[in-house]
Structure 1
Amino acid sequence: MSLQFAKARITKTRTSVENIIDSTKVLLEPLQTPETGQEATISLERRLTFVRQRLRRLNLAKRNLEEATEKLEAAFKELDGDTQRKEEESFNEYGGGATDEIIRIEELVGDLAEMEILVLEELQNRRNQEEQTEQPSRQLQRRSEQPQTGYPPLPNLQIPSFSGKTWEWENFWQLFRHNIHDQPISNIAKFNYLLKAVSGEIKETMTRFQISETGYEEAITWLQSRFGREEVIVEQLYAKLETST
């Protein structure tokens, strides 16, 4: 690839990146949701979708710009010494400009990730409010329809926290499954209980799953595959014993 072609590619890619960055700023504006529950939930879910789509687009733009920069460097290295000296200033200008754009993308990705967490937290709060509002009517309906066989209302349970220690997983899961997972409540409510139970890096990972019926199932499947394997439990138990001696 010639140096001129590599420069043209840098220019084209930077223009595309700048357009993406400019159109992303609106997604970082403070959350303003309608007061009514359903409208607020729809608004938050729409914002979450846009944020996640833009994160993917920015990461793709970053890769494209990095590839264009690599092509520029490769083309410059192919030049002879005299030509390199003539093109050095221009090369540094194009390369430096591309690096600045990559830094801007990384900063914007960080801001969007924070916004994603804010939206997820607000969605969780809305879901909790909806559950609290709907729970009394659901309990009455359940009692009237199934007076003999209906399940008792779910109490305010104290669930042991789980921070990612594999040897604590089995005990945590047995309690969580009995008290929450097997109860006749929606997966969204179960997800809310799960988010309250986990902490640290595990909580951050759980917030990446969509707060929905299927999102809860995907989160549980991930936890079981990550912490439920016997060989991993044994390995970490040995490590724990070695550090305690």
Structure 2
Amino acid sequence: MSLSYLKGLRTRYRNLLDKEVAKVDPLMRKHVSTEELDQHIWKINSMKLKLNDYSEKLTGVNEKLSILVEQTEDKKEQTIFEQEEARVMDFLSTVEDAIGELTAYEKHLQGSKASIHTGLEKQMEKLMEIQIQMQQHTKELLQAQAPQHPPQVPFQEQSTSVAVKLPKLDLNCFDGDVLKWKEFWDCFESAIHKNPKLSAIEKFNYLRSKLSGDAIEAIAGMALINENYEIAIKLLQERFGDEQTVINTHYNKIMNLTAAANETNSLRCLYDTIEKHLQSLAVMGQDVNQDIFVSLITSKLPKEVLFQLEIQKGREDKWTVQKLRQLLGSYIGALESAEQFPSASQDKRNFKSLSLNTAKPFPKVSQRSSAEALVISEKGNYQ
């Protein structure tokens, strides 16, 4: 490399360092908000990297320049270089001081950041304590507002007062059975969820009182506050109201049904259960006329019942889901109707018992009475 090239390169790196050093003081004097803290620390680190990089390059160029100047043996050039080198060293010392100030400033900001986080954690702990106290206070208020023996209120006053107590509603508890969620939610939504007289916390309290099993576990740990009511509803709907999950459950219930015995009650129970699932699937847009349902239903029936159904179907006809449901329902209905009448053996026993209890002995007829009857009869004939 030529002497002039290295001198130009040295001047370039020094100018770059001048620009970066000039930015140090404004950067350190800038007011930084909490939101800008991370970005400001990043800017400081970026500036430190640039200062270190340019300082190393300037030092390297200066060393190469020193070697070339010594090789020229030009006293004047050596004197000029020594003077320039002293200025470069002083300048690099200034750069080092700037890097040190930036490092100290960065540590200060990191400490402030840690203090802010610590303060936020303490604030969060304080808020949690306040929230717990509010929950306890709300619980006490609700208990105070629901006395065991409420005072009698005149009719007009009752009509104008604001409802505070939870409404009395005969609503079954929901235990987490996805097949019962739709029915539960429709009733709850109509009576509680859309009731404008109830606050969110009252609705939430009523909801929790009507949940059990997996359903109450799904929202366990949620504080009894207004904001959590909608969150609890969303969690329950996502877990138990998913349509595909309900559809899959109906299919699984049909496949896992216990085969019926050759008894009317057992057949009726099986038929009603199958109908319930198939009708629910049809409402949800599922095709319940698939041949797979024929196989599923017939696999749950006794051979004696299948034999009777085959006779009713006819040899040439093919099974369809609709025909199987119709014939099975008619067959079970016929069995139930037949069981309402007594059997032939029972009729025979009843008739024999009736004959023994109601038969009377024939009256005895004397010979005289018979002879007198004969004479009267003959007289009548002759006349």
Q: Helix, strand or coil for the counterpart of 1:78? A: helix
The 3 A distance-change label for structure 1 pair 66 and 145 is farther
Q: Tell me if structure 1 keeps the 8 A contact 2:70–2:78.
A: no
Paired residue type of 1:135? E
1:130 maps to which of 120, 138, 146: 120
Counterparts of 1:47-196 in structure 2, within 5 Å, are 47-79=40-72, 81=73, 83=74, 85-138=75-128, 140=131, 145-146=220-221
Paired residue type of 1:13? Y
Offset from partner CA, 1:209-245 (integer Å, 9 cap, x none): xxxxxxxxxxxxxxxxxxxxxxxxxxxxxxxxxxxxx
Q: Tell me if structure 2 keeps the 8 A contact 1:51–1:116.
A: yes
Percent of residue pairs bearing the same amino acid type: 17
The 3 A distance-change label for structure 1 pair 56 and 145 is farther
Q: Tell me if structure 2 keeps the 8 A contact 1:7–1:94.
A: no
Q: How far, CA to CA, are the matches of 1:53 and 1:137 in structure 2?
A: 38
The 3 A distance-change label for structure 1 pair 71 and 123 is same
Q: How far, CA to CA, are the matches of 1:90 and 1:145 in structure 2?
A: 82
Runs of 4+ more than 4 Å apart: 138-141
Paired residue type of 1:5? Y
Offset from partner CA, 1:162-202 (integer Å, 9 cap, x none): xxxxxxxxxxxxxxxxxxxxxxxxxxxxxxxxxxxxxxxxx
Q: How far, CA to CA, are the matches of 1:12 and 1:56 in structure 2?
A: 18
Match of 1:10 in 2: 10
Q: Tell me if structure 2 keeps the 8 A contact 1:13–1:65.
A: yes
Q: Which runs of 5+ in 1 are unaligned?
A: 35-39, 148-245
Which is higher, the Rg of structure 1 or of structure 2? 2
Q: How far, CA to CA, are the matches of 1:69 and 1:99 in structure 2?
A: 10
The 3 A distance-change label for structure 1 pair 21 and 33 is closer
Greater helix share, structure number:
1
Q: How far, CA to CA, are the matches of 2:10 and 2:111 in structure 1?
A: 39
The 3 A distance-change label for structure 1 pair 100 and 16 is same
Q: Which runs of 5+ in 2 are unaligned?
A: 136-218, 223-383
**TM-score normalised to structure 1 length:** 0.51
Q: How far, CA to CA, are the matches of 1:70 and 1:146 in structure 2?
A: 70
- The Cα of 1:145 is off from its aligned counterpart by 4.9
Q: How far, CA to CA, are the matches of 1:53 and 1:33 in structure 2?
A: 17
Q: Helix, strand or coil for the counterpart of 1:146? A: coil
Offset from partner CA, 1:37-96 (integer Å, 9 cap, x none): xxx1x22112111111111111101111111111111211221x3x2x121221112212
Q: Tell me if structure 2 keeps the 8 A contact 1:44–1:119.
A: yes
- The Cα of 1:2 is off from its aligned counterpart by 2.2
Q: Tell me if structure 2 keeps the 8 A contact 1:72–1:95.
A: no
Paired residue type of 1:32? H
Q: Tell me if structure 1 keeps the 8 A contact 2:3–2:68.
A: yes
The count of corresponding residues between Structure 1 and Structure 2 is 136
